[in-house]
Structure 1
Amino acid sequence: MGIVDRLRAIGPGAMVAAAFIGPGTVTTASVTGARFGYALIWTIAFSVVATIVLQEMSARLGLVTREGLGEALRNRFDNPTLRYASVALVVSAIGIGTAAYETGNILGGAAGLETITGVSASLWGPLMGLIAGALLWTGQYKLIERALVGLVAIMGVSFLVDAILIGPDLGAVAAGFVPSVPEGSAFLITGLVGTTVVGYNLFLHASSVQERWSGPDDLRECRTDTVASIVLGGFITLSILVSAAAVFPVGTEISDVGTMAEQLEPVAGTYAKVFFSIGLFAAGFTSATTAPLAGAYATAGALGWERDLSSTKFRAVWMTILGTGVVFSAVGFSPVQAILFAQVANGILLPIIALFLILVMNDSTKLDSYVNSTVQNVLGGLVTLVVVWLGVRSLLSLVGVF
């Protein structure tokens, strides 16, 4: 496969990258770089590997079985209690979770546009929501995919150029790949992993690969897309972190991501501010589009509905998620309690989904010769241990331990 063919293969994986590089990731990477410099770069590298391991399994499941992850989870249990419990967890964690995060996605993208234009984010937010809704309403997967791939490219160029303009310390960047845990950094380590290894992306990927490819013969192309896109997403996160690390003295506190763009200008010039703001807009818009889509795929699959982008029930789910974000962004309200619930619910769901993935990916009756290899099982097990730790931290944070 030549370079051109590899670039043409980019699609569903880029949608995954678009989903996890949202305003939350931009904020977490910026805060991490400002507070701890280059010391936590290794966390991004780990997150990228962990994401590739789980997303490859999810994509392979969808490509080989032609089932979405929601259907696979729903059909796995014969016991009605377990089945209903799994459906309830998916709908609450993914459906409600994506609705809660949607406000942050829209507000983050709108903040980028406000910095560039001076027009209030409360006006840009609803407009972004309407454009994202119009794109999803077309029901044309290829159009949606191409739009998101283009925006991921814009986002990548913006943040990479920003990092180059600022000029990070390359020696310190290299040293940052050596694992260390500075005092007080555990929360941000959890945040960096948690914003990259995202539960709803596993549902999005298993379904979107079926829209793009016809079966297991396309597995090699699918893997190229997955690895290339997620590595690109990792480089984007890395660029954001090193930009903040290069600009601010270690220990600097950043209040919010919109302030980050403003703080760049006196230190690194107007172009750095503009590129960061463009990247922030692209991150917000792509996540504002993929989160409702992922929520619709997960909810429709778990409830046994048709996963057709043009079906009434499918549209009803993503419209509810997107509408929630638009309404809250218009009034400038951040649903903190809903986001807290979503974080905890997703913290519980992700280890369950990771364990389920490993289980189903060893089922030869479903996957035949495409079952996991020993290496894939070992890597998946290690990643699952980490996400279990994240899930425990999410539960403990609810009772105020962390």
Structure 2
Amino acid sequence: MKVTSIRKVIKILGPGLITGASDDDPSGIATYSQAGAQFGLATLWTALITFPLMAAIQGMCARIGLVTSQGLAATLRQHYPRSFLYVMLFLSFPAITLNIGADIQGMGAVCHMIFPAVSVSVFCIIITFLLIVVIIRYPYQKIAAILKWLCASLLLYIIVPFLVEQHWGLVARNTFIPVIHFDKAFASIIVAILGTTISPYLFYWQATMEAEDRIHHHIIVVDKKILNSMKVDVNTGMLFSNIVMFFIILATGTVLYPAGIRQIDTVDQAAKALEPLAGKLTYLIFATGVLGTGLLAIPVLTGAQSYMLAETLGWTEGLDKKFSQAKPFYISIIISLLVGLLLQFSGISPLKALLYTAILYGVTAPVLIAVILHIGNNKEIMKTNTNSWFSNLLGILTLIIMTTAAVALIWFQLN
């Protein structure tokens, strides 16, 4: 690829790349690490499955944001019963807040692991207030630029598997030939991977960021060129996210699993377990990646939640606004961060927080995917930019898989 072509692609990348990269947050890293530690390479094939599903749904959300110039919550408020929107918010908010708290805990634990003289709680407080200052102080364009560069921290996870000996034939077999175990533990980890990669908060964030990008770039008509650029951005972001997931499972599956380490509850446990087995460099790379992904993901989580609330209640919104221009919007961000911080002092373990998050995401995702499909095919809303038959096919497949996952998740919790 020519240098000019690479520059063009980099210029196009924005909301899709940030959304995809933020999906690999500390909570996601813990899930992927557990998959590798518990089942070795047996779940590598999931990366091939989740990529097209993520790309299809996030692409629909991006198109909705571009065409309507508003976020998903605003579209739901305008065209669907208010009661439905309120139910979605009621189920989404606890899940997002728990996710924020689990990510803050993960980052604090990793910082403590590197600098043991300072407690986890102190690091959690420092990280929380650092994020509050950055989100309030800097406008959207600067935050987006910062988030875009933080995506590079995820590249560290691609390095890790190459630091240890690999049997690439075995890796290829587990990647392209699905291995399925019909037991509760395996089904639970598959459900956890799906819930981590296809999360409702990403739907809201994607639509809102595309709408804001349209406003910032003064796009009057959404033509084929704009839509094609959006597709490149979204597909690149989702591919990047799944590649990182693949390599985290590969790293932990080839290092922790053979060593008999089967239980990973937090990201710092994964890093600690890697150190004696794969060396100091691997341990530091893994830990540094957690901090970068946390700083990337938490603004997305808090931003998605605040945009949802603002669009529902008609508040002035936008990360490009000053605090004085959108006080309720920014106050909701501050509250979500502080409530997330309280998780560290509540006695709720990150593992339990992730479990509750997965349950709530699992309940809301299928319903929201069905509505996104309906919006994407609604000519009154989307005009001439309705879903293609291929997008609908992938969307329906995602709906079926996520519904099955939700039912399985609830069944396993009750039995």
TM-score (norm: length of structure 2): 0.89
Shift of the 306–167 alpha-carbon distance from structure 1 to 2, 3 Å rule, reads farther
| Residue 337 of structure 1: how far off its partner (Å) | 7.2
Contact kept? 2:32, 2:245, Cα under 8 Å: yes
Point out where structure 1 has 5 or more consecutive residues left out of the alignment. none
| Residue 348 of structure 1: how far off its partner (Å) | 1.9
Q: Who is 2:148 aligned against?
A: 149
Distance in 2 (CA, whole Å) between partners of 1:31 and 1:338 is 15
| Residue 139 of structure 1: how far off its partner (Å) | 5.3
Alignment of 1:362-381 (within 5 A): 362-381=377-396
Q: Who is 2:210 aligned against?
A: 209
Point out where structure 2 has 5 or more consecutive residues left out of the alignment. none
| Residue 164 of structure 1: how far off its partner (Å) | 1.6
Distance in 2 (CA, whole Å) between partners of 1:94 and 1:297 is 13
Work out whether 1:383 is the aligned partner of 2:398: yes
Larger mean CA deviation between 176-185 and 375-384 belongs to: 176-185
Choose from 244, 247, 252 the match for 1:239. 247
Work out whether 1:71 is the aligned partner of 2:69: no
Distance in 1 (CA, whole Å) between partners of 2:12 and 2:284 is 31
Distance in 2 (CA, whole Å) between partners of 1:318 and 1:172 is 45
| Residue 397 of structure 1: how far off its partner (Å) | 4.5
Contact kept? 1:32, 1:188, Cα under 8 Å: yes
Contact kept? 2:27, 2:354, Cα under 8 Å: no
Distance in 2 (CA, whole Å) between partners of 1:51 and 1:106 is 25
Contact kept? 1:71, 1:302, Cα under 8 Å: yes
Q: Which amino acid aligns with 2:233?
A: D
Distance in 1 (CA, whole Å) between partners of 2:361 and 2:163 is 37
Contact kept? 1:29, 1:192, Cα under 8 Å: yes
Q: Who is 1:17 aligned against?
A: 20
Q: Who is 2:193 aligned against?
A: 192
Q: Which amino acid aligns with 1:317?
A: S
Larger mean CA deviation between 143-152 and 389-398 belongs to: 389-398
| Residue 234 of structure 1: how far off its partner (Å) | 0.9
| Residue 5 of structure 1: how far off its partner (Å) | 1.2
Q: Who is 2:284 aligned against?
A: 274
Distance in 2 (CA, whole Å) between partners of 1:39 and 1:342 is 24
Q: Over the residues paired in the alignment, what is the CA RMSD in angstroms?
A: 2.1
Distance in 2 (CA, whole Å) between partners of 1:340 and 1:243 is 23
Q: Which amino acid aligns with 1:144?
A: I
Contact kept? 1:26, 1:237, Cα under 8 Å: yes
TM-score (norm: length of structure 1): 0.92
Q: Who is 1:160 aligned against?
A: 158
Shift of the 135–397 alpha-carbon distance from structure 1 to 2, 3 Å rule, reads farther
Contact kept? 2:33, 2:264, Cα under 8 Å: no
| Residue 30 of structure 1: how far off its partner (Å) | 0.9
Alignment of 1:97-136 (within 5 A): 97-118=95-116, 119-136=118-135
Describe the SS at the equivalent of 1:308: coil
Q: Who is 2:313 aligned against?
A: 303
Q: Which amino acid aligns with 2:279?
A: G
Q: Who is 1:221 aligned against?
A: 229
Q: Which amino acid aligns with 2:318?
A: D
Contact kept? 2:25, 2:293, Cα under 8 Å: yes
Distance in 2 (CA, whole Å) between partners of 1:333 and 1:191 is 19
4+ runs deviating over 6 angstroms? 335-338
Q: Which amino acid aligns with 2:89?
A: V
Q: Who is 1:172 aligned against?
A: 170
Distance in 1 (CA, whole Å) between partners of 2:277 and 2:353 is 36
Shift of the 169–306 alpha-carbon distance from structure 1 to 2, 3 Å rule, reads farther
Shift of the 370–238 alpha-carbon distance from structure 1 to 2, 3 Å rule, reads same
Distance in 2 (CA, whole Å) between partners of 1:100 and 1:116 is 25
Distance in 1 (CA, whole Å) between partners of 2:161 and 2:352 is 35
Choose from 8, 33, 58 the match for 2:36. 33
| Residue 340 of structure 1: how far off its partner (Å) | 5.3
Distance in 1 (CA, whole Å) between partners of 2:35 and 2:393 is 30
Describe the SS at the equivalent of 2:85: helix
Q: Who is 1:325 aligned against?
A: 340
Distance in 1 (CA, whole Å) between partners of 2:288 and 2:352 is 29
Identity of aligned residues (%): 24
